[in-house]
Every structure is written in C-alpha cells, then in structure tokens.
Amino acid sequence: MSTPRPLTLIVNGEPRALQVEPRTTLLDALRERLDLTGTKKGCDHGQCGACTLHVDGERVLACLTLAQQAEGRRITTIEGLAGPDGTLHAVQKAFLAEDAFQCGYCTPGQIMSAVACIREGHAGSAAEIREFMAGNLCRCGAYPHIVAAVQRAARALEQETLA
C-alpha cells in the first residue's frame, strides 16, 4: 500500500497542507479533507460536470484529476468565486435572477463552467452557450434558464469591462 504523503494545494488563494494517498482525486481531497463540499460528485467518471472547478483559470473536472496532479496549480472552487466581502460573482447573481436551477446539485459545476465559458468567449449566442456548456448535465432539466443566466451574466460582465 502507498502511504499518504504530504501535499500542499493552493485553493482559492490559500495554501492548504494535507496528507493524501496518491490515488486520491482532487474532488475527494477537497470534499473529504478540506471540507469544501461545494464542488459536487455526480458520476465520478467525467460524464456530468458536477465537479467542475478551475485549475490555473481553466475549467476542468475534479473527479478525473489526481490531487497530486494539481500540486502547485491555482485551484478555484465555487467557494472562492464571490468577492472577499461576500459580493456574488456576476454569474452567481445571474443564476439567481434567472432561477437557473431546481434541486441545485449541478449548480456549482454549472456556475464554474459558465464563468470559464464566458471568459473563453464562447457565450456569443444561445446556440454557442448550449454547445460550450454541454459538459454540464442537469437532471432537473433547467437548461433554458441556465442558458438565459449565462447570457445575462455575459452581458453584465461585458458592461463591467466597458464601464
């Protein structure tokens, strides 16, 4: 058996020291060791997107990433999205405004994916949003509201940069 080994992860701007077995995924390390349960486990096989977070600013799946692979990288989870004073991110506000969820289980992954989708420049039209949000499944079928929320957030962020 491989014994747990020390590892430092940079999560939401803070270095976090922990001991994990090499096989521990980033998802399990965050949820089980660091009590950051905002990142959800849906399928655990890369199929649903519930575990989406950002590594070095890019959206990836925490369930198919070993915690070891993320060593030295900047990890951002849903817990790190709002401002230090608690001001919600434009995408979070838009999900509330558009009622873009039902049970809410897929929502953290949807929001992290949407933040990246807009940043990548893939939120130009409803069709483009549907294609570039395809990696996030919603079992409640809130898709029309999710697309509306991404469009609303993209507009808000565009206005922010113009202002």
Partner 1 sequence: MMDFSYARPADLAAAGAALAAGGMALGGGTGLLDLAKLGVARPVAVVDLTRLPGLDAIQVSETEARIGALVKMSRLAAHPAMRAALPAVGQALLASASPQIRNMATIGGNLLQRTRCAYFRDAAVGSCNRRNPGSGCAAVGGVTRGHALLGVSPHCIATHPGDLAVALVAFDAVVETWSPNGQRLLSVHDFFLLPGATPGQEFALAPGEIVTGLRIPLAPVARQARYVKLRDRASYEFAAASLAAGMSLGVDGRIADLRLALGGVATIPWRARSVEAALIGEHPTPAAIAAAAALAMREAEPQPDNRHKLALVPALIERTLTDMVGEPA
- The helix or strand, by DSSP H or E, that contains position 91, with its residue range, turns out to be helix 90-98
Q: Which stretch binds partner 1 (CB under 8 A): 75-83, 100-108, 127-135, 145-153?
A: 127-135
Q: Which residues inside 110-149 make contact with ligand FAD, applying CB under 6 A? A: none
- Whole-number Å distance between alpha carbons of 112 and 41: 14
Output 5 or 116, the one with its CB closest to ligand FES: 116
Output 22 or 159, the one with its CB closest to partner 1: 22
Strands 74-76 and 5-11: parallel
Measured from the CB of residue 91, what is the shortest distance to ligand FES in angstroms?
15
Q: Which does 50 bind (CB under 5 to 8 A by kind): ligand FES, ligand FAD, partner 1, none?
A: ligand FES
The answer to whether 101 and 144 have CB atoms below 8 angstroms apart is no
| DSSP 8-state class, residue 118 | H
- Report CA-CA distances (Å) from 142 to 33, 94, 148, 159: 31, 14, 10, 26
Q: Which residues bind partner 1 (CB under 8 A)?
A: 1-2, 21-23, 25, 44-46, 49, 52, 58-61, 64-66, 68-69, 113, 116-117, 120, 122, 130-132, 134-136
